[in-house]
Structure 1
């Protein structure tokens, strides 16, 4: 039932619509007009735009009434994000000579993350409509700002959605693969304030902020903490002439964990070592902690897992439930009370100039979504 030529053509069209993070307006307008012309109820989530003021668009929601024998089943959500990473403007896609892949010209990313997911949803709708297939009520959710912190999914106005089960089309791999767990993620940023002094004349009157930071780091447990938890320091910035005892050192680090308690313990450990170091040297610490992801791990009795595994069993697909340490819109949806998993969209090498769409997997993954919403 999947129309290969149409699905690939739509993907090629979508990746040429510029929509890097915070600039999703053109993509949102395309989807609003596309589904409005088909006669569906289409909403732009203005609240999400207000909560993400740098964005020039809000989440887009499309509502499809249920049809036939499945019309009174619970509403299902299909979701994909509209934004891409840089360099993502002016994408020039082409199909490789062997017909297996879609690639960019190498000067930009391709944008399969996540235009492949959007193209899948458009093809699913087309198949349902032209084949007059029975299906439950459906909601298509297209979010903003996924690549810069899952912003649209966290900010979504849940009053605009009926569905409590969502399939996010944004992963890698073939049919049967699902991302079912993700981490807590903490950003820790701040600065240590010491006291400036002349390094040659009176260094003993100063407090070296970078020495304080070094003391703290030397006492921290870093990188792999346990099987669930990692910590990394990404930035330590101290830029002074060598004849000045440096007064201020800024820093940025992260803690991520698949286990909430382990993550909190590690976060507390990091803060404690910073605090002990500044007390030892008489410096001052200023810091902020921002939690941008919230850990989830769906078990087999979760409704979204049960539905997906049942579909895999019916069609002899090898179910693989994967827990990942990166962020997806599932974190935001789960935070908002919507059970969600990530399904494969067909892309690989995301965020790289070598990004490409694996055409066969892209088409096969569309078929599994059709099975999910028609059986």
Structure 2
């Protein structure tokens, strides 16, 4: 029932619509027009745009009424994000000579993350409609700004959604694989303010901000803290002539953990070391902590996992539940009270110039979604 050529062409069309994070307007307008012309109720989530004003669009929500024997069944949400990472402007896709992959020309990412998920949802709807298949009420949710902080999923207006379970089409590993857990994620940014002085004539009158930062780093536990927790310093900036005791050093770092208590403990540790060092040298610390991901780990009795595992069993798919240390929209939906897992969308090498769509896996992933919404 899946139209292979149509699904692939749909994907090729989508990746050529520029939608780097904060600039999803083109894809949002495409989806609003496409589904409206099919006669569905389609809305743009204005509250998400208000909460993420840097984006030029809001989440897009499509309501598809149930049909046949499943018309009264619980609503299912299918979700994918509209944005891509840089460099993602002017994507030129092509199918490899062996017909196995879709790739970019190597100057940009491809955008399978997550245009593959969007294309899957569009093909699923087409198959349901053309074949008059029974299915429960469906809601398609297309989010903004996933790549820069899961902003759209966290900001979604839940008053616009009926569904309480969601399948996020933005994973890897092929049919049978589901992302069922993810981490807390903290961004720590700030600066240490010392005191400038002449490094040759009066170094004792200055307070070296970079020395303070070095003291703090030397006493921090970094990288792999335990099996659940990691910490990394990504940026330390101090740019002064060598004859000036540097007054200001800025920094950016992260703490992520699958265990909320361990993550909080590590966050307190790194901030504590920054405070100790600034006190020791008489400097000043300014910092800000933002939490962009919230840890979740669905148990086996969770309704969305139960539904997915039953589908896998019926179709002889080996179920593999994965816990990942990166972020997906599952984190935002779970935070908003929607049970969600991430399923494969068919892409690999995401965020790289070598990103590609595995065509056979992409089509198999569409089939597993069809099974989920018709059985």
The separation in 1 between residues aligned to 2:201 and 2:177, in whole angstroms, is: 65
**Which stretch of structure 1 is more off in the superposition, 156-165 or 15-24?**
15-24
- Post-superposition offset of 1:217: 0.7
Measured in 2, the distance between the counterparts of 1:248 and 1:19 equals: 36
CA distance in 2 between partners of 1:25 and 1:340 (Å)? 26
1:20 and 2:43 are equivalent in the alignment:
no
Deviation sequence 1:293-351 (CA, Å, 0-9, x none)? 00000110001100000100010100000100001101111111111000000000111
Secondary structure of the residue aligned to 1:57 is: coil
Q: CA offsets, 1:16-46, max 9 Å, x none?
A: 1111111111111110110011110001001
Deviations 1:209-254 (A, max 9, x none): 1111111111100000000000000111111111111111111100
Deviation at 1:73, TM superposition (A): 0.9
**TM-score in terms of structure 1 length:** 0.99
Which SS does the other structure have where 1:166 is aligned?
Answer: strand
Q: 1:284 corresponds to which residue? A: 284
Q: Are residues 1:239 and 2:242 paired?
A: no
1:336 — aligned with what?
336
CA distance in 2, matches of 1:39, 1:356: 33
Aligned to 1:257: 257
CA-CA distance at 1:173 after TM superposition: 1.5
- Name the structure 1 match of 2:362: 362
Which residue is equivalent to 1:56? 56
- Rounded to whole Å, the distance in 2 between the matches of 1:104 and 1:291 is 33
How far does residue 172 in structure 1 lie from its aligned partner after superposition? 1.1
Which residue is 1:307 aligned to? Answer: 307
Structure 2 CA distance for aligned equivalents of residues 58 and 246 of structure 1: 43
In structure 1, C-alpha distance between the alignment counterparts of 2:208 and 2:13, rounded to whole Å: 56
For residues 70-123 of structure 1, give each alpha carbon's deviation from its aligned partner in whole angstroms, at most 9, with x where no partner exists: 111110000000011111111111111111001111111111010000000000
Post-superposition Cα deviations, 1:156-211, rounded to whole Å, max 9, x if no partner, equal 00000000100000111210001111000000011111111111111111111111
TM value normalised by structure 2? 0.99
Q: What does the per-residue CA deviation read over 1:242-275, in whole Å, with 9 as the maximum and x for residues that have no partner?
A: 1111111111100000000000000000011111
Residue 179 (structure 1) aligns with: 179
Q: Which residue of 1 aligns with 2:145?
A: 145
Q: Distance in 1 between matches of 2:213 and 2:222?
A: 14
C-alpha distance in 1 between matches for 2:169 and 2:267: 32
Structure 2 equivalent of residue 274 of structure 1: 274
Output the CA distance in 2 between the equivalents of 1:223 and 1:87. Answer: 28
Counterparts of 1:128 and 1:2 in 2: how far apart (Å)? Answer: 10
Partners of 1:16 and 1:215 in 2: how far apart?
49
Q: Distance in 2 between matches of 1:208 and 1:89?
A: 42
Superposition pairs of residues 102-113 of structure 1, within 5 angstroms: 102-113=102-113
Distance in 1 of aligned mates of 2:189 and 2:89: 31
